[in-house]
Structures are given as structure tokens and as C-alpha cells.
Amino acid sequence: MRDPNIRYKKLKKPPLKKARSTLWDYPSQHYGHKTQGSPHYRGATPSHVIWQFVEHYTKRGDSIIDPFCGSGTTIDVCRDLGRIGRGLDIAPQRDDISQGSAERLPFNKNEFDHAFFDPPYADNLRYSGKKGCIGETKYEDGSWQQSMIRVFEQLDQVLKPGAFTGVFLCDIKKKNGAFFPLGPVLYELVPEHWGFEDHIIVPRHSARLQHDRPRVQNNILLRGFSHMIIFSKP
């Protein structure tokens, strides 16, 4: 516990640098002296992860679409790196994010250079509660998989040839012990003519993961890593 009589010096965040391997660790949720997106948004993507994708797979001036933009983290990272970020969400959190469904993208054919998104992990978290929200779909009955197929079909239309798409997601395990490998299953859902570029592991950082007891209720292990899977449109 902190001593209230002692003044603590705020630690500086480490400088950003490109990862040299397929292990993308990150020291904090946000980089720099400000936040990217909202720190209060449930299920927000670490901005370090988006920064790595943008740095590795895009160039200055490229346009990047995020169809699950949440609180706008992708838009903020793109702005920092001289890219053009566009965001869409079924329940937008700010004015520069368009309202709409990732299953019906309201954009022109071949409009964007690349895409990044962090989709709902089936019904693992409750987001908007709106009809049509992919966060209301289930893995068990295949509705999440069908929604993701439609998302990729839409991206296939709005992305330019040669586009990279980064997908950040985590496997889930429910209290009844059912394990749903969303990461590996994603490979089966992309259009057949797309290519697989890479599969990156991102360790997860959470206060619960630092606890002495590594398991939670019903003897279920906490998810210790996320997947970052890179696809390409020929």
C-alpha cells in the first residue's frame, strides 16, 4: 500500500519501438503522455498493438478502416502516425466514428488501403445490447462464425488489392468449462483467395493475471495471451 506521506515520482512510459519478433508485448494500455481512445471503454484494444500493426504493415498516408472502432483507439493511432483512420461502430462513442454494422459496410469498393479490427469475442462481453451487435452472437450455435464471414466478405469489397488486415482477438473459456478457440477458427472464416501473412502472440496484462492464484472459479485458467493474425487481400 502506498504511504500517503511520501510523494511518488510518476514513471515515464518507455519509448515506442517496432517489435523484432512475433511476440508483441506492451508495457501499458496507452503510449505517450495522452490516451488513445477511452481508458474507460470495456474491452479496449491496447494502443501499442495497433501502433505495431500500423508501423509494420502500412505506410504514411495510407487509409485504414476499423469496423469495430469502439472508443476510437485506431483513429487516434493513425493520426499519430500520419495515416488516415476511419471508424465504424454499431454504438459509436464519439462524433468522428460512423454509426453502422460491420456486416454492412457503407463504403465504396476498394476505398481503403488496409484494415484493423478487434471484434467482440462472441458473447464473452456485453457491449451495446443492440439488435445486430456481433457481441450478442454465440460461438456455440455458429452465429458468431457466420457474422465474421459476412464481415470479411464486406472487407473484401472495400479494401484495395494488396491490403493487409490485422485481427486482434482472444480465445474464450466459459464457466461451464467450454473452450472456444476463436483464434484458430478465424483461419477458416476468411475468403478463400486471401492470404495468411503472420500469426503474432500478444501477452495479456491484467491485475487478475498477477494474482498468486492462477485460476478463477470452476478451475478455469485465465486467458494469458491474445492472437494478432494478419491476412492479405491479393
| Per-residue pLDDT tens over the stretch 124-163 | 777 666 777 888 899 999 999 999 999 999 999 999 999 9
- CATH 3.40.50.150 assigned to domain 47-220? The reply is yes
pTM for the structure as a whole: 0.87
Confidence of residue 8 (pLDDT cuts 50, 70, 90): very low
| Per-residue pLDDT tens over the stretch 37-87 | 888 887 789 999 999 999 999 999 999 999 999 999 999 999 999 999 999
Q: Locate the domains of the chain by residue range.
A: 47-220
Q: Pairing relation of β-strands 172-173 and 179-180?
A: antiparallel
Residue 17 has pLDDT above 60, yes or no: yes
Q: Pairing relation of β-strands 84-89 and 179-180?
A: unpaired
